[in-house]
Structure 1
Amino acid sequence: MRLRFTGSNSGKNGCPAFYEDVDSDRIVVQGDAISDHESIAQLRSLEPGEAAVAVPRAVFADFAPKDVLRSPNFVSFDEFESMFTDFQHTAWRLETRRRYRSDEESEDYRRFLAGEDILLDPDDPWCASRREQSALGKRFERVRIVDEPPTMGQLYLLKNARRNSEVGEDIRNLWRADANRLTLPNEDFWLFDSRWIALLHFDDDDNLTGVEMTSEPLRVLRACQIRDAAWHTAVSFDVFEAGIPAEHKDTASLGTSAP
């Protein structure tokens, strides 16, 4: 191995210390060897040729390499759906896109374009699940980014928000100019329990193509910061909708506009 010294809290080259193997993704930890039999007996499956060392916790925080190359962890749509019942307290969503193909394929979207009310079906499995989880004290929250003027897809979501709110979701909206000022990312994700991120991937036709899950601490911390900034600045969907000029709400005039 070709080792690069990355840091130590015991002098320039003292123990304990961290090193990077410049030719691989391996890390070498230098510390006090654990040799007493009682401590070794507590280790799980220490194989011949392996050794254990002890280092202060602060050394990891200060000197362990932070840049990690990870392969994206994509999960099935079934696994993703299970997150909405398995989470413990909060499910928070950032929605940044100008349209969602799945919305446009729904009967609700057809009714919206026709100027009809979007109906709440109490027996719909999605609605029933949201009510059940909300009754357990769990919170579903969303911030939706809206362009000026809004796209047809964004106007649909504003109308649809009332149905979502009736089954326990708290939905707020934010103008894209304000989102840009807050340096919010142009990506959609769910944040579960401030621990797990579900990053949603879309193709060029606005179809959801995959869900990438991560619990990497730095990414989760950034997602929590995004949530706090967006939630603090956004306003409830009904207040937001009331502030949109009437000419920008006319689906008939917008029907031939770009999505």
Structure 2
Amino acid sequence: MKPSSVPPFSELIRDCHHSAVHLELRDSYGVAAEADDFALWKSAGRITPESVESRRPWLDLVREAVGRGVVMRRARVVSVPVSEYIRYEHAGTYLNVEAGELVRWLPRREAATLALPGADFWLLDGRLIRFGHFAGDGASAGHELNSDPDVIKLCADAFESVWERATPHEEFTV
């Protein structure tokens, strides 16, 4: 599906019934919607009440999906030592966990022998992939949907292989 015709993620997750898994592969994102929050974290050195409020739409979406029985898992493959952006993500991940997401972290070195796709993705109910594409500076370069069974298997297997090796958020330190 062309990037311009990909529905908003909130619509996709509302159509989800069982599982939503997310694989993140970058050490830095430059998504415009996070720029102010990232700058605030850098200046404050912590997640602030303003940060929590800016994340509320996402956290509410997670709570709603988990409340319907959707198991949401996120795995992040990161370089160690971690980037400043990953420290920021790690600092705020407790909010994702409190909302019901299960989150794990895998040092990139431990992923070296895994076959991984070339883009971040969400796999919804094991039937639909939403790839996230990014420019070199981390800015969003759009999304793409894919329902090819071979691609779904590749992504599902990749996610599970990362998940098996990864450390739960509560045990991972940056």
| Fold equivalence (TM over 0.5) | yes
The equivalent position to 1:170 in structure 2, one of 102, 120, 139, is 102
- Structure 1 equivalent of residue 169 of structure 2: 237
- Structure 1 equivalent of residue 131 of structure 2: 199
Amino acid at match of 1:106: D
The equivalent position to 2:39 in structure 1, one of 95, 103, 110, is 110
Instruction: Tell whether the 8 Å contact from 2:120 to 2:132 is kept in structure 1 after alignment.
Output: yes
Amino acid at match of 1:143: A
Alignment of 1:219-258 (within 5 A): 219-241=151-173, 244=174
Bigger relative contact order (CA 8 A; separation at least 6): 2
Matched, 1:145 2:77: yes
- Structure 2 equivalent of residue 58 of structure 1: none
Matched, 1:212 2:141: no
The equivalent position to 2:22 in structure 1, one of 93, 96, 103, is 93
Name the CA shift for 1:220/1:123 in 2 (closer, same or farther; >3 Å). Answer: closer
Structure 1 gap segments, 5+ residues each = 1-71, 245-259
Instruction: Tell whether the 8 Å contact from 2:6 to 2:145 is kept in structure 1 after alignment.
Output: no
Matched, 1:127 2:59: yes
Q: Percent same amino acid at aligned positions? A: 29
1:180, 1:239 → 2: CA distance?
21
Structure 1 length-normalised TM: 0.61
Name the CA shift for 1:230/1:123 in 2 (closer, same or farther; >3 Å). Answer: closer
Instruction: Tell whether the 8 Å contact from 2:133 to 2:143 is kept in structure 1 after alignment.
Output: yes
Aligned residues: 170
Deviates more, 1:177-186 or 1:161-170: 177-186
1:104-156 deviation line (CA, Å, top 9, x unaligned): 5132x223213133433399222222111111111111000111110111111
Matched, 1:160 2:160: no
Structure 2 gap segments, 5+ residues each = none
2:106, 2:48 → 1: CA distance?
22
Instruction: Tell whether the 8 Å contact from 2:25 to 2:120 is kept in structure 1 after alignment.
Output: yes
Q: CA RMSD in A?
A: 2.1
1:11-59 deviation line (CA, Å, top 9, x unaligned): xxxxxxxxxxxxxxxxxxxxxxxxxxxxxxxxxxxxxxxxxxxxxxxxx
1:87, 1:104 → 2: CA distance?
25
Name the CA shift for 1:214/1:159 in 2 (closer, same or farther; >3 Å). Answer: same
Q: Which has the higher helix share?
A: 2
1:104, 1:137 → 2: CA distance?
28
1:166, 1:99 → 2: CA distance?
23
Alignment of 1:28-39 (within 5 A): none
Structure 2 length-normalised TM: 0.88
Aligned-pair distance for 1:186? Answer: 4.0
SS at match of 2:137: coil
Matched, 1:182 2:111: no
